[in-house]
Amino acid sequence: MKFVCEKDNILKAINSVTKAVAVRTTMPILEGILIQTNDNEVKFTTYDLELGIEYIINCKVSEQGSTVVNSIMFSEIIRKLPDSEIKITLNENNLLVIECEGSLYKLATMNPEEFPELPKINVENSLEIEQNALKDMVRKTIFAVSTEENRPIFTGCLFEIKNNKLNVVAVDGFRLAWKTKLLQQKVNDFAAVIPGRSLNEINKIILDSFDTIKIGVAKNQALFEMENCKIVTRLLDGEFLNYSSVIPSTWETRIRVDKNITQDCFERVSLISASSIEKEKKYPVKITIDIGKVTISCTNQTGDAKEEMYVTTEGQNLEAGFNPKYFLDALRAIDDQEIFIDFGTSISPCIIRPVEDGDYIYMILPIRMKE
């Protein structure tokens, strides 16, 4: 195997595929990058048995071949080389020789035949969406994915096609994030739950551009395809929450707030709520709604915090406790300047929604306050 390529092109491939390198594994081959040539293309592949990524670049290939090299060592060397053309050769001793200007490195390799094949996916349903739209949908929901392994289905995002809309939903038992988008082309209804970890890595790879990405779903795998990159991930098994049935359709108290001002208030109050003195304890903030005014407060052994906002209010006065982190995660994901926050009672969930008919909803469950 012998090829020559610009450093930038190799680096793009490495930055993408290293996201699927196994971290803790008893199989050293999974810690490697499979490098394969095909005519004047070089394909880089990684696979940790849950997430697999292939990235193809155009190179000047003078000898065909394949090998597996440790991903950390290979990527660190490439990163630190001069911004120039890099020559990569697999020599007769199965060492990967890397040459660039005055630099010369030789790395041990592994047998490419031992590298597991990525699953072959017989796509049953698929859709195409702009990469920036998918990136935005994942960013605005992924934070609500559960990290608790006792309910594995909630460690992923639901991707649901219904009435030609893509709904992306995340829930962790304490909050829910929902984002929807009307699709341009006709697509069959289907649903699949994609692991949050896979989506996080996919979101780092896809571009903030109008280029499309194709998402294909089979029985237990999903496939994300872009121009020169292919990503395969397993799907999560189980019954996802019937989210539309748990989102309240009515409210008793509604406030209309400036998103940025509200976020700033929560940021400041959470300094007391998430006090470093008692890291093991989490203190809720108390939201008190009176006519024309909202007070956000917190009291603990560190001190007191109180923020007042003058806002438009409708309905009943209210007092309820919430985890400020859940509010902050939702507020940071919202681009609108003004939002509605709807409340039921002090023990029912609150809903953050757009002022106009919108394409997102955040639901947060309250915390019982100690008297």
pTM assigned to the model: 0.92
Sheet holding 253-258, edge to edge: 190-195, 156-162, 165-171, 175-182, 360-364, 350-354, 338-343, 253-258, 312-315
Q: What is the mean pLDDT of each run of 10 residues along the chain (371 residues)?
A: 97 96 92 96 97 97 97 97 97 97 96 96 95 97 94 96 96 96 93 97 94 95 96 96 94 97 96 65 86 94 92 96 96 97 95 94 91 60
Number of neighbouring beta carbons within 10 Å of residue 348:
14
Q: Are 205 and 231 in contact (CB under 8 A)?
A: yes
Domain 2-114 shares a fold with domain 247-364: yes
Contact 135, 151 (CB under 8 A): no
Give percent helix, percent strand, percent coil of the chain, each to the nearest 5: 25, 45, 35
Token output for 14 = 């490495």
pLDDT at 25: 87
Ordered by start, the domain boundaries in the chain are: 2-114, 125-244, 247-364
User: What is the CATH number that goes with domain 125-244?
Assistant: 3.10.150.10
H helical segments located in the chain: 7-17, 71-80, 131-139, 196-205, 259-273, 324-333
**What pLDDT shows up at residue 278?**
52
**In the prediction, which pLDDT does 196 show?**
97
Query: CATH classification of 2-114, choosing from 3.10.150.10, 3.40.50.300, 3.30.470.20, 3.40.50.970?
Result: 3.10.150.10
Q: In the CATH scheme, what is the homologous superfamily, with its name and number, of domain 247-364?
A: DNA Polymerase III, subunit A, domain 2 (3.10.150.10)
Q: What is the pLDDT of residue 371?
A: 60
- Report how far Cα 134 is from the mean position of its chain's Cα atoms: 10
Amino acid letter, 8: D
Task: Locate 31 and state its tokens.
Answer: 């810690």
pLDDT, position 370: 72
What are the Cα distances from residue 117, in Å, to 45, 298, 342?
10, 54, 50
The pLDDT, as a whole number, for residue 275 is 63
